[in-house]
Amino acid sequence: MAREIEVTLPKNWGKGMLKSLLLIFCSIGLMAIGYLVSPKSEEGRPPILSPRLAQVKQYQDWTKGLVSDLERVDVILSSLLAIDVSDLFVQSDKANQATGEVVRVLEEIDRTGVPQTLEQLQALVFDAATSYEVAAEKTSIWIGEPTEANYIAANDALLQGRAALERAKNNPWIASTGEDGNQ
């Protein structure tokens, strides 16, 4: 014969069970969100970044943005030097735009802290920006006084800016494509 066992549950056992299940589902949901939004390395795994490596990676990405800004300045100055001086107001406006962009880049470089590891990279980008500042100034002079000597000076300054930018772009910290801060 089978014995009957009577089991009694507390009145609010359902509330405790519901709270436990809710806690488990919230934990699983937060872990899934964390996994989905975490950056991934080339192997598809989340990188482990120390605060120092995170700072270096952030500075590296920021510097790549500055290089892109200087490339846009190059396009503006190249287009100005490629055409004859005709509409002085439009050309003057473009030259001022290029100068303003270079000044903004220089100010950003000046007020942004640089990790010690990347001081040489900062020097290269600063050199490129100052070279483009000179090129923008010489281009403005040529627009104001379109002589052959001013054109040659502006073009030479632009070539120097390009060379300085190329040196910065060839730096391994810029040329690197790794997602985890490693080269």
Q: What is the DSSP string of 1-67?
A: -PPP------TTHHHHHHHHHHHHHHHHHHHHHHHHHS---TTSSPP---HHHHHHHHHHHHHHHHH
Nearest to 125 by CA among 80, 62, 54, 52: 62
Say how many CA atoms lie within 13 Å of 141 toward its Cβ.
16
pLDDT (0 to 100) of residue 9: 67
CA distance 178 to 183: 6
CA distance 154 to 160: 10
Lowest average pLDDT, out of 28-32, 35-39, 76-80, 178-182, goes to 178-182
The domain made up of 51-175 has a fold known as Four Helix Bundle (Hemerythrin (Met), subunit A) (1.20.120)
Domain definitions of the chain by residue range? 51-175
Predicted TM-score of the model (pTM): 0.70
User: Which pLDDT band holds residue 40 (cuts at 50, 70, 90)?
Assistant: confident
Distances (CA, A) of 124 to 79, 108, 132: 25, 14, 12
CA distance 158 to 136: 8
Nearest to 142 by CA among 131, 153, 129: 153
For the cut 90, the answer to whether the pLDDT of residue 84 exceeds it is no
156 or 42, which is more confident? 156
